[in-house]
Structure 1
Amino acid sequence: MVRPIAFHPFPRRQDMKVSRTLTGIALAAMASLHSGTASAVLVNNVGLEVRALIDTDAFGGNAPLVNLTESEIDLPYDRSVVNISGGTAGSFSYTADADIGNQLLKIGGSLTNSTGTDMFGFGVPLINVYAQAKDVLTLSSAVAGTYAVTLELVVHGNLETTGVSGEVSANSLLSFGPVVGLNTTDSARYTQQGAIDDTLSVTRQVTFASPGAAIDMEFEAFISFTATRVPAGFTVSGDLSNTAFLNLILPQGLSVVESGSGTFGVPIVPIPEPTINALMLAGLALVGTVARRRKGF
């Protein structure tokens, strides 16, 4: 019997899959995750990042109009979500979110070529929007034994171009495995116009030597949207703002006891700004004054 966590089902479309690989990636060992000290290895394996690159002059004399990166890597986290967004009406737009608290990634972007000349990146993106989340999860078992642990990345979105093909694409990747050992990776590239409905999945066998034992598992998930050509007068766009949900599927008896970020599945509540606090205090004072006056009557 398995116990799904935050499962968001979408229909799977095999025809959208262009490539999928299962590879092992060697990782450095971590001495200890439970000491409360953020080692260099832990910092490298935990983090949120979003990025947007927009080049509206087709790699002409001007630098890219937008080249922004926002990240959260210092431990403990001050926030469980990082995001960027912006744009100019009729020209370009971008949005990207990496949310480890709600276990999702979201991206979107568009670029309109309002000139009379085709815009070419020649293999380099004219527009690229990217979101990534990495974390280390500590799993504990109530009973000794070997268990199958599955992590999924549900990808749902849309690619649109007008009159061209192969110039716009999206990518997804999910890597999962023990901190000390090899990771298994599932990835996909989407180039067909229209809907993207896919699920990346990695299952690992995890052995607990004794009841109450703990094992550190790390994952990396990212999605991206890229266009390398925009014909004159056309718009290219990618909308993966309804994706991608991370689903951790644990067998009965296993549980997540902590995470490297400290926020996996537990969003950080923003601290109110001082001005907001002042308004709240003023409002409470006003309520108290009204109540006293009414009591006087």
Structure 2
Amino acid sequence: MKASNVLTGIALAAITSLHSGVASAVLVNNVGLEVRALVDTDAFGAKAPLANAIESEIDLPYDRSVVSISGGTTGSFSYMAVSDIGNQLLKIGGSLTNPTGTDFFGFGVPLINVYAQAKDVLSLTSAVAGTYDVTLELVVKGNLVTSGVSGDVSANSLLTFGPVVGLNTTDSSRYTAAGEINDTLSVTRQLTFAAPGSAIDMEFEAFVSFSATRVPAGFTISGDLSNTAFLNLILPQELSVIESGSGTFGVAIPIPEPQVHALMLAGLALIGTVAARRARV
């Protein structure tokens, strides 16, 4: 049996420019991060939804490796969603409380929906010609609180993986029972490399979501997959990732905090002042 390298949250080697075999049009469609949340407690009445947030990113190259949203009102609802391609993880969570004496009904349409998705194209190369199994996993951990309304509350996960040119293979799960979620989605594809150094472009999509279509009077429902859904790429030792469509798979791009921005601006102002004084000397 060939030894395997399991690439989890550990950063890959620096990823170079886009592989020439991956068309930019394909990348626009197949590379991106998205998180979104929707909360509507008036069951589509006259009022607008209490929260409606969406953020997406498909720019190439990315200027960051993570998108996230969060919000809520104490005692009413909460939501959070993170899609992080650098650390290869997805996180979601949400809750909705019905403090009234009347059930909240969505009539099949979610009253709360929280969603996180990651899509990328990976270029794999082989040091030795041959046929190899390549596996991508999505390890999902969390919990679901249905408060006796099973069937109206659910979480979902999906993983697709396959060559850019060809058919993808899909694994998915739906969680409706209250309690702990501990699941692994797995897709294995067999790839043939005709010669050493040859490359094959593989695309994947992974998402996790939580939703509820009914909240009985006096109940709170919640879903928490913020324990994280990890992406694990399992490669034989002969194979390696040479680049990714996003340029960020396994390479976290830090985002400066607001105070860091302030320090940077102050530093630039100081540099400008010093330069101006020197110019007058």
Query: So what's the TM-score if we normalise by structure 1?
Result: 0.83
2:51 counterpart residue number: 66
Report the Cα distance in structure 1 between the residues aligned to 2:47 and 2:121, rounded to whole angstroms.
Answer: 41
CA contact (8 A) 2:120 2:203 kept: yes
Structure 2: how far apart are the matches of 1:280 and 1:194?
51
CA distance in 1, matches of 2:194, 2:256: 42
Say whether the 8 Å CA contact 2:80–2:93 is kept in structure 1: yes
RMSD of equivalent CA atoms: 2.0
Contact map agreement 1:38 1:75 (CA 8 A) in 2: no
Give the corresponding residue for 1:287. none
| 2:9/2:250 contact within 8 Å kept | no
1:158 paired residue among 127, 134, 143: 143
The residue that corresponds to 1:49 in the other structure is 34
Query: The residue matched to 2:168 in structure 1 has which SS?
Result: strand
Identity within the alignment, %: 78
The equivalent residue for 1:4 is 6
1:143 is aligned to 2:128: yes
The one-letter code of the counterpart of 1:238 is G
Q: Which amino acid aligns with 2:190?
A: Q
Structure 1: tracts of 5 or more residues without a match: 9-32, 284-297
CA shift, 1:63, in A, is 2.1
Deviation at 1:35, TM superposition (A): 3.5
Find the counterpart in structure 2 of residue 86 from structure 1: 71
Report 1:9-48 matches (<5 A): 34-35=19-20, 39-48=24-33
Alignment: residue pair count: 260
Cα shift at 1:96: 0.1
SS of the counterpart of 2:169?
strand
Give how far 1:282 is off: 9.8
Q: Which amino acid aligns with 2:245?
A: G
Q: Which residue is 1:256 aligned to?
A: 241
| TM-score (normalizing by structure 2) | 0.88
Counterpart of 2:244 in structure 1: which amino acid?
S
Rounded to whole Å, the distance in 1 between the matches of 2:21 and 2:189 is: 26
Instruction: Give the corresponding residue for 1:277.
Output: 264
Residue of structure 1 in register with 2:198 after alignment: 213
Q: Find 2:186's aligned residue among 190, 194, 201.
A: 201
Matched residues in 2 for 1:280 and 1:242: separation?
A: 39
Q: SS state of the match for residue 182, structure 1?
A: coil
- How many Å separate the matches in 2 of 1:192 and 1:99? 27
String of CA shifts for 1:135-170, please: whole Å, max 9, x gaps.
Answer: 000001000000000000001010002232211100
- Name the CA distance, whole Å, in 2 between partners of 1:55 and 1:191: 21
Structure 2 Cα separation of the partners of residues 91 and 277 of structure 1: 39
Of 122, 127, 137, the residue aligned with 2:107 is: 122
Q: Deviations over 1:211-266 (max 9, x none)?
A: 00011000000000000100111100000001200000000110000000000000
Provide runs of 4+ in structure 1 moved above 6 Å.
280-283
Q: Aligned partners of 2:142 and 2:60: how far apart in 1?
A: 32
Counterpart residue number, 1:181: 166
Paired with 1:270 and 1:173, the residues of 2 have a C-alpha distance of 28
Letter in 2 for 1:129: V
Deviation at 1:271, TM superposition (A): 4.6
Distance 1:120 1:152 in 2: 35
Equivalent of 1:104 in 67, 89, 98:
89
Distance 2:53 2:104 in 1: 21
Give distance in 2, aligned partners of 1:170 and 1:92. 17
